[in-house]
Amino acid sequence: MKATKTLKTLAIASLGALALAGQAQAQAQQPIKVGVIFPLSGGAGPQGQHVTQAVQAMAAIINESGGVMGRQIEILSRDDESTPAVGVSRANELISSGVSVIIEGWNSPVTLAMQPVINRANILDITAISKADPILSGEGNPLAVRLNSSNSQDGAVIAKYIAGTKAKRIAFMTENDAYGNGAQESIEAELKKLNYAYDKVAEEKFPFNQADFRVALTNVRAANPEVTIAINANEGLGMPALIRQAKQSRLPGQLVTAVGTVAPSVISVAGEAANGVIGADIYFPDVEPFASNEANKKFIAKTQEMFKYTPDKYMALGATSLQVWAMAANEVKSLDKEPVAKRIRGGSFKGTIFGDVSFAANGQLESNHKLFTIENQKIVVRPASN
């Protein structure tokens, strides 16, 4: 009798072990869920849709190469509607869906609202585009990672350009939120570091969703600036409208746009009014060193194949966010937030869309900016000496 009980116990234990092994094997075959939160509607909707598509294109590339730790990636996309409260709600939806990482961030206020929610859920949060400096402060997310250049990095580029023009009468047209105000503060702080004397002859603030700038431009025009700096992250509506209306108002001097606020989609909407505008950015698909980069060429080809669209900087940032996360996860052989984040922060990666890249200890991707002029409705990169 005792032997029979022992055999039954061993049989039950064996069945239990087999069940656990089966569950582990089933889990290993299930796709890894990746959350993506960008505006898919409203003024920034078209750009957010493009970024989401770029992440999907990169997911296809990664899956074709064996996935992450042998598992395929499944993208779960949500629309934050460029609204902080909606972004938080969408983040909670993805958390409940069991995502391993969330890639987010078009509007800085939305990112700042989502950060603590995603952090408390112990899920890695990668900011692709939002620029506000507090994103990397460690307050909302102690293990923050960001791909796009920061306001501080951008401010130095624009300040250096202004100092080179020797313009003294400077006007600002600034989006009145964490991104816009932070961008202006950074430019002014960098001008101060350069000991560059200037007069701020006009300053106009506006909300993210504004599309009529005629009154503000009338005020700026009356101040007769030599340079007007436009800081507007609403690329679907606000920035094209501002550029067109600046041309119509015969705004004097040079119109300079904040780093990363003018993509080909903005130029296509603004039309001929965009000619002569100065900007700066960190990625151009057909300019060296990107043009000959195999990872970039593969990304462009896949995006064109899937969506019939040549990617811009924002799309490249979204895709690289997923690419770097996948590289880190494969290397540390874990989906857990802390080991993956620690591999990225302060680490370097070879063969990304942006080439060989490095992240600062605070999680900021180190960027290489290039100034450009818009000529014949095309972006023309200026010589490095400028």
Q: What is the DSSP string of 86-149?
A: HHHHHHHHHHHTT-SEEEE-SSHHHHHHHHHHHHHTT-EEEESS---GGGGSSSS-TT-EE-SP
| Separation in Å, CA 116 to CA 110, 123, 126, 341 | 11, 10, 13, 16
Residue 16 reports pLDDT greater than 70: no
Exposed e or buried b per residue across 49-60, where buried means at least 16 C-beta atoms within 10 angstroms of its C-beta: bbbbbbbbbbbb
Q: Please tell me the distance from the alpha carbon of residue 51 to that of residue 292, in angstroms, as a whole number.
A: 22
Q: Are 51 and 79 in contact (CB under 8 A)?
A: no
Identical fold, 30-149+288-358 and 152-281: yes
Q: Give percent of the chain above pLDDT 70.
A: 92
Locus of tokens 């300019």: 287
For the domain covering 30-149+288-358, report its CATH number: 3.40.50.2300
Residue 19 reports pLDDT greater than 70: no
What pTM, to 2 d.p., does this model score? 0.81
Residue 172 reports pLDDT greater than 50: yes
Domain 152-281 = CATH 3.10.150.10: no
Q: Are 133 and 182 in contact (CB under 8 A)?
A: yes
Arithmetic mean of pLDDT, 235-246: 95
Any idea where the domains of the chain sit in the sequence?
30-149+288-358, 152-281
Tens digits of residue pLDDT in 43-72: 889 999 999 999 999 999 999 999 999 999
Sequence letter at residue 234: N
CB atoms within 10 A of CB 220: 25
Q: Are 279 and 259 in contact (CB under 8 A)?
A: yes
